[in-house]
Amino acid sequence: MFSQLLATAVLAISALFVVVDPVGLVPIFVAITEGKTRESRAAIARKACIIFVCVVGLFAIGGGLVFRLLGVSLAAFKIAGGGLLMLTALDMLRNRLAPERTSEEEMDEASHKQDVAVVPLAMPLLAGPGAIATAMVLTSRATMVWDVAIVVAAVIVIGIATFYILAAAHWVDRFLGVSGRSILERVMGLVLAAIAVQFVVDGLGEALPGLLSSREPAAVEDLLKASKAHLGLPAWLDGSAGS
């Protein structure tokens, strides 16, 4: 049980950290908080991260129920979530901001707002479709209540880590530089692509075996019986004959 919980924690923290990508958001945070004091930037980061934890945590806990009410299977959502994460991963590998995370209109609005914590920082940059989908897919894999609790705890951990990274954004930006951010972005994109593929594989594994397992054994059995009849094999070779 402990090893399963540990594996869930490692997967949840790594997947959420990669998809939220707080390090990749550092230059954006620096740009939209230009001219603000260090205390103001820390307050903005704190508010955005609290909103992120509330939104993503809420979807992690109750998102599955919403989709069940809508008649959407968890397998379908895993496949869709994996596809969405793959698009984000491809954008990270190309070292560009995923278009579904924010739009030019939102960034333009942010440049004229005094409070950018809610839009675009908390939503959609932090609590975007990718983060929400990741949290919901992770909880859909849960086999016990502790798995869900670990995913929610992982959301909180990522929120805290993101706050400290954004609060120190100017130092992080200066330390990594353009080349460092570019390399880190591509490595994280590769990790996210692998996680996305795993989500899709899990979804297909739940959706297709129901079709394959119900048809393949019968089809193979019929083929064996037909072969035995055609070749005139003795009845004792048929496993069902001795039963």
Q: What is the pLDDT of residues 75-86, one digit of tens each?
A: 888 888 889 889
Percent of the chain with pLDDT over 90: 40
| Whether residues 186 and 86 fall in one domain | yes
| Whether residues 83 and 199 fall in one domain | yes
| Whether residues 130 and 142 fall in one domain | yes
| Whether residues 88 and 203 fall in one domain | yes
Q: Which domain holds residue 130?
A: 2-207
| Whether residues 193 and 241 fall in one domain | no
| Whether residues 101 and 123 fall in one domain | yes
Radius of gyration of the chain from its Cα atoms, rounded to whole angstroms? 24
| Whether residues 240 and 172 fall in one domain | no
Check pLDDT > 60 for residue 151.
Answer: yes
Q: How confident is the model at residue 227 (pLDDT cuts 50, 70, 90)?
A: low
Check pLDDT > 80 for residue 138.
Answer: yes
| Whether residues 104 and 167 fall in one domain | yes
Q: How many domains does the chain have?
A: 2
| Whether residues 103 and 80 fall in one domain | yes
Bigger pLDDT: 220 vs 107: 107
| Whether residues 79 and 47 fall in one domain | yes
- Report the pLDDT value the prediction gives residue 111, as an integer from 0 to 100: 53
- Report the pLDDT value the prediction gives residue 197, as an integer from 0 to 100: 92
| Whether residues 142 and 216 fall in one domain | no
| Whether residues 158 and 225 fall in one domain | no
Beta carbons within 8 Å of 166's beta carbon, 6+ residues apart: 22, 25, 26, 29, 41, 45, 48, 49
